């Protein structure tokens, strides 16, 4: 598998050890996918979990700890006044850089993929449920033959980790506009693979992407 450092996404101190490794899957957009989750040290490592729009892991994932309001009292990323605090709307539907865990943890250039970019991964790669170094997950093979592994890291709800090793839940940066207390994400297991929505207060994995270099 061909891998490279994403040199367009270096930390401010320009230290090569601070770079993160990506893989070019040969996707139509040219998008480059990180080879491990945010907070992980290897492709099989689960890494950290984040509520949607938050940039730090925490001990409890529910509406009482969520920084952008409650399910029907949202204070950011709301396109429907029925869900907004006192009818609040801002019509923001994509995470801003300051609320993107990938950008906050890995610096500018890295970000959480959009709903459309996750769809591109599913549409243009072949994928299979597999076990890599003892960890279950989804293995993607791109049009150019390069590969990507995403561990089935489960999700955090309340103070518990659920479905680890059986389901993979990954955030996109796209709001689920039909019900803005939720956001789009990817979901896969041994039986299913595709896109779905999750409540924003849940703790899900983040896999970063960066744009191709000029």
The DSSP letter of residue 8 is G
State yes or no: pLDDT of 203 exceeds 50: yes
Range 138-145 average pLDDT? 98
Confidence of residue 100 (pLDDT cuts 50, 70, 90): very high
- Mean pLDDT taken over the chain: 92
Confidence of residue 3 (pLDDT cuts 50, 70, 90): low
* DSSP strand pairing (126-132 vs 110-111): unpaired
The confidence score (pLDDT) of residue 53 equals 98
101, two tokens: 């865990």
Q: pLDDT tens digit string along 4-52? A: 544 333 333 333 334 799 999 999 999 999 999 999 999 999 999 999 9
- Compute φ and ψ for 26, nearest 5 degrees: 75, 30
pTM equals 0.92
Per-residue buried b or exposed e for 135-166, using 16+ beta carbons within 10 Å of the residue's own CB: bbbbbbbbeeebbbbbbbbbbbbeeeeeebee
CA dihedral 32, 36, 37, 43 (to 10 degrees): 150
Range 85-104 average pLDDT? 98
The confidence score (pLDDT) of residue 212 equals 87
| Range(s) of the domain holding residue 191 | 3-210
- Please give the tally of structural domains in the chain: 1
The confidence score (pLDDT) of residue 5 equals 45
The confidence score (pLDDT) of residue 19 equals 72
The confidence score (pLDDT) of residue 63 equals 98
Alpha carbons 182 and 114: distance in angstroms, whole number: 14
């Amino acid at each position: 598998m061909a891998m490279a450092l994403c040199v367009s996404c270096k930390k401010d101190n320009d230290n090569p050890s601070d770079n993160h490794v990506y893989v070019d899957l040969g996707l139509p957009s040219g998008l480059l996918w990180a080879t491990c989750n945010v907070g992980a040290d290897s492709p099989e490592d689960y890494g950290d979990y984040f509520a949607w729009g938050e940039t730090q892991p925490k001990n409890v994932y529910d509406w009482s700890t969520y920084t952008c309001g409650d399910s029907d009292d949202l204070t950011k990323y709301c396109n429907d006044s029925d869900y907004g605090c006192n009818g609040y709307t801002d019509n923001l539907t994509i995470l801003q850089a300051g609320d993107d865990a990938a950008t906050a943890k890995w610096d500018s250039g890295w970000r959480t993929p959009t709903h459309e970019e996750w769809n591109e991964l599913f549409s243009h790669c072949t994928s299979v449920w597999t076990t890599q170094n003892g960890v279950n997950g989804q293995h993607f093979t791109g049009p150019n033959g390069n590969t990507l592994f995403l561990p089935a890291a489960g999700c955090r709800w309340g103070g518990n980790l659920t479905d680890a090793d059986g389901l993979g839940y990954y955030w996109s940066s796209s709001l689920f506009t039909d019900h803005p207390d939720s956001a789009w994400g990817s979901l896969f297991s041994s039986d299913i693979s595709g896109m779905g929505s999750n409540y924003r207060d849940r703790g899900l994995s983040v896999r970063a992407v960066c744009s191709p270099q000029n």
